[in-house]
Structure 1
Amino acid sequence: MDLINFRVGQKTISLKILDILLTERFENNLTSLPNDNKSFIGVKDYMDTPTPIFDLGIILNNQSTDSINQSLITLLSSWESKAKQWFKALEKSIYDNTSFTMNTDIEQCDFAKWCEQFKTDNDDLNAILKRFNTPQTRIYEQAKHIISLQKKGMQSQAINEINSERNTHFMQLIRLFESAREQIILDYKPIIIFTTKDGSSPHIGLLVDKVEDNISYKKEDIKPLTKITETGFDIDPQTKSMMRGLIKLADKHSLLIDPSAIFRPAHLQHQKEEETEAYGLF
């Protein structure tokens, strides 16, 4: 059986090709309807059929990828603001010939620590974050040097050097913050997967981050999730009902899902046929 892999946050999910009718770019033009399901984000009129659209990020990660991205953008803006405050305080201490009481040790810099620990599958964002190290280290080293000049009574030279740092390495740092935020926005190009149960008409739409690749699987490639669910592992009922197993990829696993289990009429909620033999896994 052939599958297509999709990215949802830091997870990879797989759908059978036969379950997919079409994919299209998400334009944020859905019609809202009252609903208690937080993953339901609206209706799209597709092939003259009002089709419910669900956000897989909310189903699998408890929050949409867009929400995660916005939080990251806000965090980067906060780090940038702190960097500006730090440099402004350094400038003021040099111009006023007063003591600088903030940290000048790059090893103790909270943002540097955060960059080192932060994990993302966005390779371009990773590359940008690594570039922060050079200008930030340089600024901290120069801060110590400039403060030393000030203490030696060489205030004029200290002022010249702090101005030079502002126009070079500090501005480079600020541009990197801008680039990181832009990369987060540019990398997020969500799509809607229109799924089908009969091969011709839409069933539901699933919002995902991007298409990854195609794979083929055999029965033995599917690792059942029975052991996890039997131990009382806390999985949301909607998520649990659609999971069909794990597929081993090169360096990670993909979660095989059955989209027909996400949205069912009430009288089919307890039907098990689609969850076993009828789904073609056994």
Structure 2
Amino acid sequence: MDLINFRVGKKTISLKILDILLTERYEGNLTSLPNENPSFLGVKDYMGTPTPIFDLGLILNNQSSYETNQSLVELLQLREQDHKAWLAELELSVHNDVPFTKSRDPKQTDFGKWFYNFKTDNEDLKAILSRFEGPHDRLHSIADEVLNLCSKGKKDQALETLEKEKLTTFTKLIRLFESARDQIILDHKPIIVFTTEDGQQPHIGLLVDRVEDNIHCDESDIKPLHEMTNVGFDIDPQTKKMMKGLIKQGDNHSLVLDPSAIFRPEHLKGYEPVETEEYGLF
């Protein structure tokens, strides 16, 4: 059995090659239709056939990959603001001889607690995050340095040190926050996988994050559904219908999906694609 692996959030899913018609970049150009299924995004015309598109992120992770990425971008924005507030308070402390109350231990800050526990398989984001530790540690170390100078009556030297670090270490850290956010946004280029039941007509489209690779396996390599709860999957009824099982790949598992288990919305039976100037037939 030949399969193609796709990434959806932190999960890998596998579809039979024979179940796939094609993949294309998702541009958001779908026709919305009333539907109670939150994972149903809308309809895309495929060679004259209105094809329902479902968000696998919502089905498998209870959150779309777009929402997951936006949450991460917002978190990084908050942590950047934390550091701006941290430096502002240190400047106030040095200038006005008032106590400095913020954390001097980089691992005990909100960013530090997140940073040392965060995991990602995005290699470009990993590369950016790997550059945070140096300037982040250095920034927090200057609190003791400048406050010790102040305690010795060397306020001018403390201010000089603070200004130097603000122009170098702090600026570098802020640029890293910006680069990390940009990478998260730019890296998300989801695709639609058009599936088929007969090899000719589209059945549904599935929104995934990216194509991973292709593999060959035997039916005996697929673990049955009842074993999935032993590897950390909380399976809801909708997801259970489309799962055929699990394939072990090294230390990870791939979910083998049967897209035919997702039924086309009933109201699509009477739906006729509408030609629009911007998108053509939808």
Residue aligning to 1:256: 256
- How far residue 129 of structure 1 moved from its aligned partner, in angstroms, is 1.7
SS in 2 for 1:128: helix
SS in 2 for 1:118: coil
CA separation in 2, counterparts of 1:124 and 1:84?
Answer: 25
**Which is further off, 81-90 or 102-111?**
102-111
- How far residue 141 of structure 1 moved from its aligned partner, in angstroms, is 1.4
Residue aligning to 2:273: none
Whether contact under 8 Å (1:115, 1:130) holds in the other structure is no
> TM-score by structure 1 length?
0.90
SS in 2 for 1:199: coil
> TM-score by structure 2 length?
0.90
CA separation in 2, counterparts of 1:81 and 1:265?
Answer: 45
Structure 1 position 219 matched with structure 2 position 207: no
Structure 1 position 119 matched with structure 2 position 122: no
CA separation in 2, counterparts of 1:265 and 1:114?
Answer: 41
Deviations 1:84-122 (Å, cap 9, x if unpaired)?
000111011112232212221224223112101011111
CA separation in 2, counterparts of 1:249 and 1:225?
Answer: 17
Counting matched residue pairs gives 263
Residue aligning to 1:15: 15
- How far residue 226 of structure 1 moved from its aligned partner, in angstroms, is 2.7
Deviations 1:154-192 (Å, cap 9, x if unpaired)?
111111111001100000110010011011112111000
Runs of 4+ aligned structure 1 residues displaced above 3 Å come to none
Deviations 1:22-65 (Å, cap 9, x if unpaired)?
10000011111100000000100111111100000000001100
SS in 2 for 1:204: strand
SS in 2 for 1:117: coil
Tell me how large the CA RMSD over aligned residues is. Answer: 1.5
Residue aligning to 2:278: none
CA separation in 2, counterparts of 1:228 and 1:100?
Answer: 51
Residue aligning to 2:270: none
Aligned pairs for 1:195-274 (under 5 A) are 195-228=195-228, 235-264=235-264
CA separation in 2, counterparts of 1:11 and 1:248?
Answer: 12
- How far residue 127 of structure 1 moved from its aligned partner, in angstroms, is 2.2
CA separation in 2, counterparts of 1:115 and 1:227?
Answer: 33
List runs of 5+ in structure 1 lacking aligned partners: 267-282
CA separation in 2, counterparts of 1:57 and 1:109?
Answer: 31
- How far residue 264 of structure 1 moved from its aligned partner, in angstroms, is 4.8
Residue aligning to 1:146: 146
CA separation in 2, counterparts of 1:170 and 1:122?
Answer: 25
CA separation in 1, counterparts of 2:186 and 2:113?
Answer: 25
CA separation in 2, counterparts of 1:4 and 1:228?
Answer: 20
Give 2:240's aligned amino acid.
K
CA separation in 2, counterparts of 1:23 and 1:125?
Answer: 25
Whether contact under 8 Å (2:5, 2:13) holds in the other structure is yes
SS in 1 for 2:130: helix
Whether contact under 8 Å (1:112, 1:133) holds in the other structure is no
